[in-house]
Each structure stands twice: as C-alpha cells, then as structure tokens.
C-alpha cells in the first residue's frame, strides 16, 4: 500500500495507531522503495543492497533449476542479528506458528530465523522480529474481495469506507469498480492500522515496549494501474515511521531515503557493525549525509518481461524505458485479472478516458520520461522533449548512468534465456496445481508473446 494514512494527509479514513507511532517518533515523508514489487523489494531490504546489484531484480526468480546466489560479501540481516546474540523471527499477524512471508529471490538458509514468534526467545534475550501483514492484498482483486474487507471493517469499526467518499487520482476514471476497489483499499489500510495497534499492545503486555525500536513501512505502493510494477510515485512512495528508544517524538523529516536504509539503522541501533559493502545508510545517525537522489528498478514480473530504471530528486523524476517498443500494459496475467484493470480497459475501448487516463494505453513508450514533481505531482506531463528542460534531462540521465555503473546494475544485460525458462517452468507447474485452466492458458499465451517480442528485438 501507499502512504494513505492520516499522518500522511489521508482524510477519508483515520489511522490512529500508525499516527500514534508517528507522533511519538519520526515520520519520513519521502521514503521510496528501490523496486515496486514484493520479492525484489524484500530481497533488497533483507540485505541492505540494491536488488540490481545482487542479481535479485527479476520478480520471483531463482525458483527453478537456475539458482541465484548472493555475492560472498553480502550477509542477510537476520544472520547478522543472530551472530550478535539476538533471537530472530518472521511471522504473519496474528502469529500462527508459521514463518511469515519472505519471498527472497536467491538461495538462503531458513535457519536465519529461529521461529515465527519472538516470545520463543530465552529469558532476557534481545529480539529482531519481522511482522508481515497482508496490507492492500486484503481487498482482493474483485467484488468478492471488496465485500470481504468491507465486512471486516464493519465488524471491527462499525462501518466500511463509503464509496461516495473516495477521491481518485486524476489518472483514474470514476468507474464504479475502480471506486469500489479504492474504498476497499482504504478499508485494508484501516485493518492494517488496527493490526499495528495489536502488535504494539502485545509488546506492552510483554513489558518490552519501552526498549523496542518499531519500524513501520510497506513493501511497495498500491497495486493498481500506475502503482505496483511501475516507477511512478504511486508504486514507489511508501510510509516509513520509526518509534522507540533514542527517537525524538514528533520528528518529521523531508529528506530522501530508500527502503534499504532500514537495514543499516536497525543494525546501528543494536550496536552491530554495518558491513562495509552494504549500500544502505544509517539515516538516524547524527552524521548522516542526506541522499540527493533515490533510485529504483523494475524488471521481469512473473511472465512479463520489462526493463525500467528511475532516479528521483526532491523535485524531478527521470524514468528510462529500455523497451520502448512495448506497450505500458504488456500482457500480465496477475494484473489483467484484477477488476480494476478490466474496468480501465473497458473505458479505453469505449473511448471515455481523457488524455491523462489514457497514458497507460500507449502502444509504445517514450525512451525517457521527465517530470517536475512540484508542479506535476501526479507525473502526467512528460518534459523529456521540452526545450526548457534539456539541461535537467541531461543531468538526470547522467545521475542514472552513474548509479547503474557504480552499483553494477546486473539488469544492463538481458535475463539469460535459461533463467527465464527455468522460472517459467516453476510458475506454470504451480498454476497447473492451483489455477483455473483459463488462467493457465493466459499465462502460456503471455509467455509466447514475450518470446515473440524478444525475437523481434523489442
């Protein structure tokens, strides 16, 4: 989910628990993920490294016979905590005894987590715990999911979010399904906020709240047309709130930070040395030098091949599309099955979308996109060809080139065919066990389309 919390300016709903953490701690207004999809994002924050540096940039890769291994000088953060004597855990909420979502794109040893519950630790042992909630996925993908989360909200809070209270971003039409989905999304935010309150209450009951550093963030923005899987702020901008010992209450920071930075600050807070190769920064350090730019990458997501990079400063966003001959909305079974994407396509075919709502339906993409985020926060007006912004275009282009070179962006070369085939076999085998024949056929068709585009050099 995106930063749709009261403390971040959301007015349609109330989020008292996250707001309380922000009021008693520090709220980062400009936190961005380095990847707009879960497995690549998680692979980055669990190592403190850009996913492009460690070869984990393709979504759910390394699952088949072609394995991905971390560089020898990269250690997963839970292992560093274990070596320092911490109990490590990862769980969903409520705790059910099973390990929570990991979804890392490389080979890893499950022993880095002692259990699914920090309560399993030895008396007095410090703990490093990750709690994974469903977030925006609580709303599902269609009417069934919307009704379910609305009922949960009514049971918990006495009412669900009224559809007529929803105000969509200007790049989405006021289609009934899109409005209903957004209302369900806001209810999923409320439910997530309630879960945060439960976690804090549990820490208080156990008597460890006062000496526990709490970090709240999401692993990418809302799953929507221009959100998840794309490098617009809807997909990259996330909430980041930190509360606990040593944090000055009521602090609000507007400097740029990346989600991988949570690894370095967590290690530092525990008195654990930050490994020299780690690209994360301890943004809570007294001598921290604020970033002047943040970077992000989108590569293959499931069967859908893509290659996009971006750099964002406090004012400008530059996006490079390495596959400009492909449409924005390439075939993608995961997204195409969502009612909101079906609604968008219906509106496009009916000719009812305005120029901004039609941006995703271009048959080809510009090679470069440049946005002035002060005058154009929704990233609607591409300035890459504007004569008045050519110097900025060159500057931002240079920043991205330098980052890709210095961080050894492994996406500069296409994914090996053997890797793609290996991961697609696992994907298809899973669908044969779980999916409908229609969904399986869609994915198989999409894979053929991807191969055809690659053969054409697109």
- Domains defined for the chain, CATH in brackets: 1-416 (3.40.720.10)
Q: What's the pLDDT score for residue 298?
A: 98
- For 166-213, strand residue ranges (E) read none
CA distances from 373 to 31, 305, 315, 342, 376 (A): 15, 28, 5, 29, 5
Q: Let me know: does 353 contact 171? Beta carbons within 8 Å.
A: no
- For 236-284, strand residue ranges (E) read 237-243, 251-253, 257-258
Q: What's the pLDDT score for residue 75?
A: 98
Q: pLDDT of 120-158, one tens digit each?
A: 999 999 999 999 999 999 999 999 999 999 999 999 999
pTM, to two decimals: 0.98
Q: pLDDT of 43-95, one tens digit each?
A: 999 999 999 999 999 999 999 999 999 999 999 999 999 999 999 999 999 99
Q: What's the pLDDT score for residue 287?
A: 97
Residue 305 banded pLDDT, cuts 50, 70, 90: very high
**% the chain with pLDDT above 70:** 100
The predicted model gives 225-251 an average pLDDT of: 98
CA atoms of 216 and 240, how far apart (whole Å): 6
Q: What's the pLDDT score for residue 89?
A: 98
Count of residues in the chain? 458
Q: pLDDT of 161-217, one tens digit each?
A: 999 999 999 999 999 999 999 999 999 999 999 999 999 999 999 999 999 999 999
The predicted model gives 264-292 an average pLDDT of: 98
CA distances from 413 to 4, 57, 74, 177, 322 (A): 36, 12, 22, 39, 11
Q: What's the pLDDT score for residue 366?
A: 98
Q: pLDDT of 390-430, one tens digit each?
A: 999 999 999 999 999 999 999 999 999 999 999 999 999 99
Q: What's the pLDDT score for residue 391?
A: 98
Q: In what order do the strands lie in the sheet with 308-312?
A: 294-298, 308-312, 316-321, 368-372
Q: What's the pLDDT score for residue 42?
A: 98
Cβ within 8 Å of residue 270, ≥6 positions away = 81, 84, 86, 126, 128
- Which residue, 379, 454, 362, is CA-closest to 414? 454
Helices and strands per DSSP (H, E), number in the chain: 12, 11
DSSP structure class, residue 386: -
Phi, psi of 109 (to 5 degrees): -95, 115
The predicted model gives 316-324 an average pLDDT of: 98
Containing H/E element for 195? helix 176-205
CA atoms of 217 and 239, how far apart (whole Å): 5
Q: Let me know: does 342 contact 175? Beta carbons within 8 Å.
A: no
- In this structure, is the dihedral angle defined by the CA atoms of residues 69, 59, 5 and 374, taken in order, positive or negative? positive
The predicted model gives 296-306 an average pLDDT of: 98
CA atoms of 257 and 259, how far apart (whole Å): 7
CA atoms of 320 and 308, how far apart (whole Å): 6
- In this structure, is the dihedral angle defined by the CA atoms of residues 203, 267, 88 and 107, taken in order, positive or negative? positive
Residue 119 banded pLDDT, cuts 50, 70, 90: very high
Q: pLDDT of 343-361, one tens digit each?
A: 999 999 999 999 999 999 9
């Amino acid at each position: 989910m995106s930063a749709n919390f009261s403390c971040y300016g959301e007015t349609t709903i109330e989020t008292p628990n996250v707001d309380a953490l922000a009021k008693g701690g520090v709220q980062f207004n400009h936190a961005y993920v380095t990847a707009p999809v879960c497995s690549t994002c998680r692979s980055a924050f669990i190592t403190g490294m850009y996913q492009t540096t460690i070869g984990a940039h393709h979504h759910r890769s390394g699952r088949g016979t072609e394995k991905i291994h971390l560089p020898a000088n990269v250690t997963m953060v839970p292992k560093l905590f274990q070596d320092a004597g911490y109990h490590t855990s990862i769980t969903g909420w409520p705790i059910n005894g099973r390990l929570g979502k990991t979804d890392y794109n490389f080979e890893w040893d499950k022993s880095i987590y002692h259990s699914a519950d920090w309560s399993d630790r030895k008396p007095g042992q410090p703990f490093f715990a990750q709690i994974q909630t469903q977030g925006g996925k609580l709303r599902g993908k269609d009417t069934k999911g919307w009704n379910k989360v609305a009922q949960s909200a009514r049971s918990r809070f006495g009412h669900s979010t009224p559809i007529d209270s929803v105000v969509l971003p200007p790049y989405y039409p006021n289609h009934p399904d899109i409005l209903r989905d957004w209302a369900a999304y806001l209810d999923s935010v409320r439910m997530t906020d309630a879960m945060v309150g439960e976690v804090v209450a549990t820490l208080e009951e156990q008597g460890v709240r006062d000496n526990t550093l709490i970090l709240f963030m999401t692993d990418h923005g809302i799953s929507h047309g221009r959100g998840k899987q794309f490098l617009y702020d809807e997909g990259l901008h996330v909430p980041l709130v930190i509360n606990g010992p040593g944090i000055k209450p009521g602090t609000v920071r507007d400097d740029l930070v990346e989600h991988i930075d949570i690894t370095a600050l967590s290690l530092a807070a525990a008195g654990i040395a930050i490994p020299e190769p780690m690209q994360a920064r301890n943004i809570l350090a007294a001598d921290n030098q604020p970033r002047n730019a943040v970077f992000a990458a989108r590569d293959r997501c499931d069967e859908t091949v893509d290659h996009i990079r971006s750099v964002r400063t406090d004012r400008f966003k530059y996006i490079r599309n390495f596959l400009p001959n492909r449409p924005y909305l390439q075939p993608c079974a995961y997204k195409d099955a969502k009612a909101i994407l079906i609604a968008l396509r219906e509106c496009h075919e009916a000719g009812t979308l305005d120029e901004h709502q039609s941006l995703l339906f271009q048959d080809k993409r510009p090679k470069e996109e440049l946005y002035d985020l002060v005058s154009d926060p929704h990233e609607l007006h591409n300035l890459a060809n504007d004569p008045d912004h050519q110097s900025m275009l060159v500057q931002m282009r240079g920043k991205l080139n330098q980052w890709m070179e210095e961080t050894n962006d492994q996406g500069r070369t296409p994914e090996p065919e053997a890797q793609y085939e290996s991961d697609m076999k696992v994907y298809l085998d899973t669908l044969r066990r779980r999916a409908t024949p229609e969904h399986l056929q869609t994915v198989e068709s999409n894979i053929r389309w991807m191969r055809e585009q690659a053969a054409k050099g697109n």
